[in-house]
Structure 1
Amino acid sequence: MLLPLYVSVKDVLDSKNELNLLFATRDLWPTIGRSLLLASLTAIGGALIAVPQAWFLARYHIPGKKIILILCILPLVFPSYISAYSYLAAFDHMGFYQNLTGMAFPIPIRNGLFGTWMSMTLVNSPLIFLMTYAALQRQSPSQEESARLLGFNPTQVFFKISLPALKIPIASGMLLVALYTLSDFGTPAILRYKTMTYYIFRHLDRGSFDKASFFSLLLIIIAFIFLQLESWINRSQGRITDNKARQIIKKAKPSKLLLIIIFYSSTIFMACLLPLLTILYWFSKGRNSELVFPKNLFDSSFNSATLAFLAAIISILFAVPCAWCALRKKGLFATFADRISFLGNMFPGLVIGLAFISFFVSFKLFGYSFYQTLWLPVLGCAIRFLPQAVSSVKTSLAQINPRLEEASLMLGHDSVSTKLRITAPLLRPGLLAGFALVFISTLKELPITLLLAQPGKFYLTQNIWNLIDEAEYSLVAAPALLLLGISSISLYFILNQKLTKSND
């Protein structure tokens, strides 16, 4: 977990260029400014979409509420680079929009802030939605009822009572969105908005490892600051209310209900339906072509599934002892195991890929080199997504009453038998959900597969990336649809596990 940080620091310190020359790198400060601006605007835009979505869904009778809930979460299925490709294919020159209307889209999507911001906002807003909706479900209705009895109208209740109570989950979600935006590589690269990840890849492509590592180290430091802020906000969050409190579900007036439905329709259309329709549009345009399905589609799908399966297995194997130490043990080692397991959130995939190339090109273990083998992308993805597995396992483990294990020990069972017969079955939902989370995240991971793929082997993400780079929109459709289909199945499995757990 510490390897990417160690390699980034070592490469900078070993650089032939002095540190002051690295700080004088051309476009350094404008690039940092662009990255922070994009992250800030994406977090704000995501909140403007997600908070009303969560509020209306939690407080009003809306037709098809369960379907709307799923559709609000569904953008998480779309890898950011596929969403970027779909908006580019929809609004760029001779795209979906121009073919339907006969007019060019008024705002350029490529080479600017707007297209990158729009794509990142729509993809990441569900992170804020999930936190806000969960907080609303736990929020006590007593203060809102009191405010109405005192003559406050619904708008005043929202801004003076409910919104201040939601500031912690909203702020936490916004920081996570900003963090994901900073670490994203695919969207800025496809839409040609020059962020820090863009320059890391550019310097790496040119062989300037010291400058690439320098940008990586700066990105790690910024990500660490965001993570510390998010952790501090979560620690300052008190107990919201009783989970079983009766919620206020109001019936909206027809005019207001119409506005709510228009709001949901427009946001869901832009975030989910438009990307899907664009992909299907380009897929249908090439249906008579023999090249509509890339020749190595099956092989790349198998390679991606293998990579995702192995990364998920390794993540779960390490997540269980980390979660156990965090919840059931005390002391310095338990704290260390808990904290270090979340370092993956600090390392973008591009940083991990760069660090692995720099380290493993000369590293051998008992004469065996990991460089250009399957284990390198597997280990990279395991590091990147270990926090997801740990969070899932910790959630399940926290719900297991330790007294059950104590009772088993008192009845004569040893520790191993107790863990296998009592703890493991109760922990299974968290293990399966964690496995599915890491599987779907690895399946979508672009930078690690681009940098660490074995020679002659291709993954779905590489196929999509290469075809987008060649502007072969109709050819991109098949692997993109396949990736979305597998991701949707994984998301359904995760949601089903959580619903089953909540019903229990």
Structure 2
Amino acid sequence: MLLPLYVSLKDVLNSNYDLRALFETRDLYPTIGRSLLLASLTAIGGAFIAVPQAYFLSRYKIPMKKLWLILCVLPLVFPSYISAYSYLAAFDNMGFYENITGWKFPFKISGSLFGTWMSMTLVNSPLIFLMTYAALQRQSPSCEESARLLGSNSFQIFTRITLPSLKIPIASGMLLVCLYTLSDFGTPSILNYKTLTYYIFQHLDRGSFDRASFFALILIVIAFFFLQLEVYMTRRRSLITDNKSRHISHYCSPLKTTVILSFFSASVFLSCLLPLATILYWFSKGKSELMFNKELFSAASNSSILAVAAAIIATLFAIPTAWCAIRKKGLFGKFADRISFLGNMFPGLVIGLAFVSFFVSFNIFGYSFYQTLWLPILGCAIRFLPQAVSSVKTSLVQINPRLEEASQVLGHSDFHTKLKITAPLLRPGVLAGFALVFISTLKELPITLLLAEPGKFYLTQNIWNLIDDAEYSRVAAPALLLLGISCISLYFILNQKLINSDD
């Protein structure tokens, strides 16, 4: 977990340039400013979409509530680079919008802050939605009901009571969005918006490892700052009242229902239906014999194998880490828990860069890991280990230790107790963590670009190369295949968590 930080520091300290020359790198400070501006605007835009969605779903009886719940989370299925490609293919010159309407789109998408911001906001807003919706489900209804009895209307209740109590989960979700935006590589590269990840890849492509590592180190420092703020918010979020005795669910007038459903329809259309429609449009323009071939299905198979292997390794490390953090609560448990979450601090591009720099000359008993399947598996396992740990910890916290104590009092061994009592209760969290790592690995772009074995291709590489060549119609097939596999994993996660908990 510490390897990316170690390699970045080593490359910078061993650089041919001194630190002053590195800090005087051209476009360094404007690039940092653009990255922070994009992250901040994306978090704000995501909050304006996600908070009303969560509030309406948790507080009002609206038609097809479960369907809207799924649709609000569905943008997580779309990799950011596929969404960026779809908006570029829809609104760029001779794109979907211009071919249908005959008019050019009024806003520039490629090379602009607006296009990058729109794509990143629509993809990442579910992160804020999930935290806000979970907090609303835990809130005690007494304060809102008292305000309603005292004559306050719905808007006053929301602004004076509900929203102030949601400051911590909303801020925590926004910090996570900032973290994901800073670490994203695909969207800025496709839309030609020059952020830190854009320059890391450019310097790496030119063979300038020291400058690439310098930009990577700056990105790690910024990400560490956001991660520490998110950890602080998470600790405070645990102080929120947890009352699951009953939920507020108000009936609303036909006019209010129409307004709410219009808002949901607009947000779902922009975040899900428009990208999907664009992909299907370009799919219809292509030739099936060129799109569906052996190479495509081979790439899908390679991606699935990589995702399964990374998910297995991450889950195997997540279980003892979560157990030490929750049950042991010693110095080692705290250390393991903190170290496991470093994956959130290292973007995939930084991990890929570190692995290339380190493993190119590293071997064990004459065996080199460089350009083998082990490197992308290990890179993805490190990158997404925090997701597995969080999922397992969530299930472990909900298991009452007295059940295990009762089993041991009745004469069962510690092994038999864990096998018959703990393991079945822990299974949903383990499976959900496995699915989270699987779907994240399936979408991971920079690690597969930098660490893939020679001659072996993944769906993400296939999509990236075709987008780079502006082969929009040929991108559609691998994009649809990737979305289909991701949807299966997302359905499993929702079935394990959101839908069942909502019941």
> Shorter-chain TM-score category?
over 0.9
* One-letter amino acid of the structure 1 residue matched with residue 482 of structure 2: L
Contact 1:148/1:157 (<8 A) preserved: yes
Structure-1 separation of matches of 2:89 and 2:492: 30
SS at match of 1:106: coil
Give 1:151 deviation, angstroms. Answer: 2.4
> Which residue in 2 is equivalent to 1:135?
135
Of 154-163 and 218-227, the range deviating more from structure 2: 154-163
Give 1:251 deviation, angstroms. Answer: 2.0
* Structure 1 residue 413, shift from structure 2 partner: 2.9
After the TM superposition, which of the residue ranges 60-69 and 167-176 deviates more from structure 2?
60-69
After TM superposition, the structure 1 = structure 2 runs for residues 356-395 of structure 1, keeping only pairs within 5 Å, are: 356-395=355-394
Corresponding residue number in structure 2 for 1:236: 236
Matched residue, 2:455: 456
Assess if the C-alpha contact under 8 Å between 1:11 and 1:210 holds in 2.
Answer: yes
Gaps in structure 1 of 5+ consecutive residues? none
Deviations 1:301-322 (CA, angstroms, capped at 9, x unpaired): 1110111111011001111110
Kindly indicate whether the alpha-carbon contact (under 8 Å) linking 2:31 and 2:196 is maintained by their aligned counterparts in 1: yes
Runs of 4+ in 1 over 3 A off after TM superposition: 499-504
Retained in 2: the 8 A contact 1:36–1:182? yes
1:317 partner amino acid: L
Deviation for aligned residue 1:414? 2.6
Residues 7/190 of structure 1: CA separation in 2 closer, same or farther (3 Å cut) = same
Matched, 1:428 2:427: yes
Aligned to 1:103: 103
Aligned counterparts, 1:438-453, within 5 A: 438-453=437-452
Alpha carbons of structure 1 residues 181 and 295: separation in structure 2 relative to 1, 3 Å = same
Deviations 1:388-423 (A, max 9, x none): 111111111112222222223233333223222222
Partner residue in 2 for 1:323: 322
Structure-1 residue corresponding to 2:399:
400
* Aligned pairs for 1:27-42 within 5 A: 27-42=27-42
Q: Specify the alignment match of 2:120 in structure 1.
A: 120
Report whether the alignment pairs 1:348 with 2:347: yes
* SS of residue matched to 1:296: helix
Task: Tell me the distance in 2 between the aligned counterparts of 1:316 and 1:399.
Answer: 18
Gaps of 5+ in 2: none
- SS of the aligned residue for 1:341 comes to helix
- For the pair 1:304 / 2:303, whether they are aligned, the reply is yes
- Which moves more between the two structures, 480-489 or 425-434? 425-434
Correspondence list, 1:178-217, <5 A: 178-217=178-217
Q: Secondary structure at the match of 2:497?
A: helix
Q: What code does the residue aligned with 1:271 have?
A: S
In 1, Cα distance between the equivalents of 2:460 and 2:236?
Answer: 39
Q: Residue 140 of structure 1 contacts residue 240 of structure 1 at CA under 8 Å; is this kept in 2?
A: no
1:15 aligned partner: 15
Shift, 1:55, TM fit: 1.0
* Aligned partners of 2:137 and 2:244 also within 8 Å: no
Matches of 2:455 and 2:242 in 1, distance apart?
Answer: 56
Task: Show CA shifts across 1:355-374 (max 9, x none).
Answer: 00000000011111000000
Q: Following the alignment from structure 1 to structure 2, what is the Cα–Cα distance between the partners of residues 157 and 467?
A: 50
Counterpart-to-counterpart distance in 2, 1:355 and 1:238: 35
Determine the structure 1 residue equivalent to 2:48: 48
What is the rounded CA distance, in whole Å, between the counterparts of 2:306 and 2:445 in structure 1?
A: 12
- Give the superposed CA RMSD: 1.4
TM-score relative to the length of structure 2: 0.98
Q: Percent of pairs identical after alignment?
A: 78
Q: Could you tell me how far apart the structure 2 residues matched to 1:185 and 1:500 are?
A: 32
Q: Secondary structure at the match of 2:229?
A: helix
1:475 equivalent in structure 2: 474
Q: Give the alignment's TM-score, normalised by structure 1.
A: 0.98
Distance 1:308 1:259, change over 3 A: same
Aligned residues: 503
